[in-house]
A and B are shown apart, each in its own frame.
Chain A
Amino acid sequence: MPQPPDFTTTLDVQLVAFSQAGDMIAFEELVARHRDKIYARAFSMMRNEEDAIDLSQEAWVKAWQRLKQFQGDSSFATWMTRIVINLCLDQLRRQKRTRAESIEQLDEELGGVERQMPVVASNPTEGLERAELRKRIDKAMTQLSYEHRTVLILHEFEEMEYKQIAKVMNCSIGTVMSRLFYARRRLASLLQSLKKEQQS
């Protein structure tokens, strides 16, 4: 009985080429290599394990169908990440339509809330170990609305420019800048609160 090919040392570009030719074993290797990253992006946006698993798997199915469209302009991981981001945004928009907005969320959308927040005078992350810093940032980000959290993720973690974020989120560059500004100000305020909690 012939052994299945071993793709463990094959480069991504070659695996993509094999997959584009219909080789599902090569595609499975790509899934295995990048599944954590794709799941992590879905989880950071959805903040829900079940949704993140479902959407990341849906992203892989979509990727298989659209593999012929992948021209190699970016890395395969970046291309995959864009697919999962778009799926998460679609899902978050659907969820938002079905739930009532809180007054705070409406204030956030209208803007101006950030101007009422006092400026944080001392660095709320100073002296923190990296693991603790990551934990606090993650905790604070769960308290942001999905629009503010997403802008922050796309700008800081995916290193996307304002224009690219506006395109992905289907909004103006001004809205992106405003959301990013609010997200940073709110994050500073939340991290300061966490610091005070720790000290008391």
Chain B
Amino acid sequence: MNTELKLQALLDGALDAREIREIEAILAQDIQSAALMQELKWMKAAVAGNEAEVKLPETREFYWSKIERGIAAEAKQAAAAPAERAWWLRFIYPATGLAAMVAVMFVVSGGRTTDGADTESVPEDVNAISFRSEAEAMSVVYVADENGTFNPVGQETKNEPEADK
């Protein structure tokens, strides 16, 4: 806070004892600060209790009539509010349920997405993997040998359509 604002705070009784001593020491030495303090004092004294007297330029009845209408309009609006809310509430609950269901499905699937194409399963704790291609309509199982190399087991199996057999 600068000295000018401290002078004002002194005038308004907003300083603590230490600050009052500090600012009074400045006032005793600095003529400019003392002159400014005097100006602020004049203004505070002039304004306090000298607010212009203003009267409402309307009759009691006329002024009240608009207030009464305002109260009635607000009450009407407040009564209508639950009905207005109801239409979107009818949609918000099913939408929330649907969103929750999608979220659960996403979490359960681990965030993976499939497009119905090829899938491969590679468990870490077994020495066999399987491969299935929907497009080729076939499944292949690979089993690891003692060196950890995966080889297809027997012949690759191609699932021919029944009509082709």
Interface residues of A (CB under 8 A from B): 24, 28, 31-32, 35-36, 39-40, 43-44, 49, 53, 56-58, 60-61, 64-65, 114-115, 119-121, 123-125, 130, 133-135, 137-138, 152-153, 155-157, 161-162, 174, 177-178, 180-181, 184-185, 187-188, 191
Contacts and interface: CB of A to CB of B under 8 A. Distances in A.
A135 B46 CA distance: 12
A31 B64 contact: yes
A157 B48 CA distance: 7
Given A31-B64, A152-B47, A157-B51, A184 B8 contact: yes
Contact of B47 (A61, A135, A137, A178): A137
Given A188-B42, A191-B46, A121 B64 contact: no
A39 B54 contact: yes
Contacts of B79: none
Interface of B: 1, 4-5, 8-9, 12, 14, 32, 35-36, 39-40, 42-44, 46-48, 50-58, 60, 63-64, 66-68, 70-71, 74
Contacts of A162: 12, 14
- 7 shortest A-B CB distances, which residue pairs? A61-B70, A138-B52, A40-B54, A39-B56, A125-B46, A184-B43, A156-B47
Contacts of B54: 36, 39-40, 43-44
B50 A35 contact: no
Contacts of B14: 161-162
Contacts, number: 116
A134 B48 CA distance: 10
B74 A188 contact: no
Contacts of B74: 61, 65
User: SS class of chain B's interface: helix, strand, loop or mixed?
Assistant: helix
Contacts of B4: 114-115, 181
User: SS class of chain A's interface: helix, strand, loop or mixed?
Assistant: helix
Nearest to B34: A119
Contacts of B8: 177, 180-181, 184
Nearest to A130: B50
Nearest to A126: B42
A35 B63 contact: yes
B94 to A, nearest CB: 34
A39 B63 CA distance: 11
A134 B36 contact: no
Contact of B39 (A36, A65, A161, A185): A185
B4 to A, nearest CB: 6
Nearest to B55: A36
Contacts of A58: 70
B56 A188 contact: no
Given A44-B51, A119-B32, A123-B42, 19 more contacts: A28-B64, A31-B63, A35-B60, A36-B55, A36-B56, A39-B55, A39-B56, A40-B51, A40-B55, A49-B57, A114-B4, A119-B35, A125-B46, A134-B51, A135-B52, A161-B14, A184-B43, A187-B46, A188-B39
